[in-house]
Structure 1
């Protein structure tokens, strides 16, 4: 099952973010967005590969994205 993730790039690796992106893609990440100025990469990956992405050189954190679904305003949920 695919999981959406947000990846933070280490401060000392932001100048080589394209190399980090290439390494993440080799690790199975389908990159959706690269926010170069702030060192954040978003994408999807197979669930069992999430932990491995944290071992990529230049990655400081890998966080799963959570989705919240609110009920419609006229629902019976209180």
Structure 2
């Protein structure tokens, strides 16, 4: 099952972020967005491959994307 993830690029790999992207894609990640100025790559990958992406050269961290949903404005929550 695919899982949405956010990958942080290591500081020393910022200059070769395109290489990191290619390596992540080779590892099974479907890259959706590359935020070059801040060194973040978003996308999805099969849950079986998440841990392996953390060992890709130039990757500082792999984290699941979290979603937050606020209640509707007319709800009873205060």
* TM-score, scaled relative to structure 1: 0.90
Q: Secondary structure at the match of 1:44?
A: strand
Give ranges in structure 1 of 5+ residues lacking alignment. Answer: none
Q: TM-score, normalised by structure 2?
A: 0.90
Q: Are 1:60 and 2:60 matched, yes or no?
A: yes
Q: Which residue of 2 aligns with 1:37?
A: 37
Q: Deviations over 1:15-44 (max 9, x none)?
A: 111110000001111101111121111111
